[in-house]
Amino acid sequence: MTVTVKIPAQLRGATGGEDELEVEGATVGEALDAVFDQHDGLRQRITEDGGLRRFVNVYVSGEDIRFKDGLETELDDGDEVQILPAVAGG
């Protein structure tokens, strides 16, 4: 599957300023790994012990992946994977 991963402003220092990346991946985890392959600095910023850090939210087409299968959530061609900070609101 070819999907678009949207990078929040706070992480663009690690992507050379790019705000979205097109990558291949059958699941969210695979898509993120593909992003990390291109920009290794991102991996340590948002992951810890193989999982996402606790203040990182990931959405597929607007839906929080924790309501789906987390990093195992399957992707369709053209899906939009969005990384956002989890520290807003309230």
Partner 1 sequence: MALEGLRCKECGAAYALDARYVCEECFGPLEVAYDHSGLDPDEARRRIQAGSAGIWRYADFLPFAERPPSWRHSLEPGLTPLVRADRLARELGLGEVWIKNDAANPTHSFKDRVVTVAITKARELGFDTVACASTGNLANAVAAHAAACSLRSFVFVPADLEEQKLLATSVYGTRLVGIRGSYDDVNRLCTELCEARPWAFVNVNLRPYYAEGSKTLAYETIEQLGWQLPDRIVCPIASGSLFTRIGRAIREWIELGLVEGRVPTFNGAQAAGCSPVAEAFSHGWDACRPQRPDTIAKSLAIGDPADGPYALDLARRTGGGVDSVSDEEIRAGIRLLAETTGIFTETAGGVTVAALARLAERRAIDPTERVVVCITGEGLKTLDATRDSFAIAEIDPTIEAFEVEVEATSPLPVGAR
Residues of this chain that interact with partner 1 (CB under 8 A) are: 8-11, 13, 45-46, 53-57, 59, 62, 64, 66-67, 84-90
| Residue 6 CB, nearest approach to partner 1 (Å) | 9
Per DSSP, helices labelled H in the chain are: 28-38, 41-46
As a residue count, the chain comes to 90
Distance of alpha carbon 19 from the chain centroid: 12
Residue 62 or 77: the one with the smaller Cβ distance to partner 1 is: 62
Instruction: Return the number of the residue (58 or 75) whose C-beta is nearest partner 1.
Output: 58
CB of 89 to partner 1, least distance (A): 4
User: What's the Cα-to-Cα distance from 81 to each of 9, 51, 90, rounded to whole Å?
Assistant: 15, 16, 24
CB of 13 to partner 1, least distance (A): 6
Which structure tokens are listed for 27?
A: 């699941």
